[in-house]
Amino acid sequence: MDIKIQAINFEATEKLHDYVQKRLSKLARFCGEIERVDVSLKVVKPETAMNKETSVRLTVPGNDLFSQKVADTFEEGVDLCAETLTRQLEKYKEKQKNR
């Protein structure tokens, strides 16, 4: 699984990169077919609360799964996206079993 992280309008720290890698690599437990993960971290409106936009796109065979969340911190946004993608992966696996 290849994880690409893009920081927009700010410089991401190594700690944030490590957190994103660690959290999203756990998604492989739900589906081993994940080919690629594209993460976009963006500061929307500086100097306000709830200004961190996190979007994650998973590429699996024949499909793309996507989640986008706005939160107070990037860590919280990554957690929310991971929860949403976990549910999407479970649905994806169920559809694959029924084929």
The domain that contains 46 carries what CATH number?
3.30.160.100
Give me the residues of the chain with pLDDT under 70, please. none
Distances (CA, A) of 65 to 45, 73, 85: 26, 22, 7
Measured in whole angstroms, how far is the alpha carbon of residue 25 from the centre of its chain? 10
Confidence at residue 95, expressed as pLDDT on a 0 to 100 scale: 87
The confidence score (pLDDT) of residue 41 equals: 95
Domain enclosing residue 21, as ranges:
2-98
57/35 Cα distance (integer angstroms): 11
Predicted confidence at residue 15, as pLDDT, reads 96
Dihedral pair phi/psi, residue 81, rounded to 5°: -65, -40
Model pTM?
0.89
Q: How many structural domains is the chain composed of?
A: 1
- Please answer whether residues 5 and 17 qualify as being in contact, where contact means their C-beta atoms are separated by less than 8 angstroms: yes
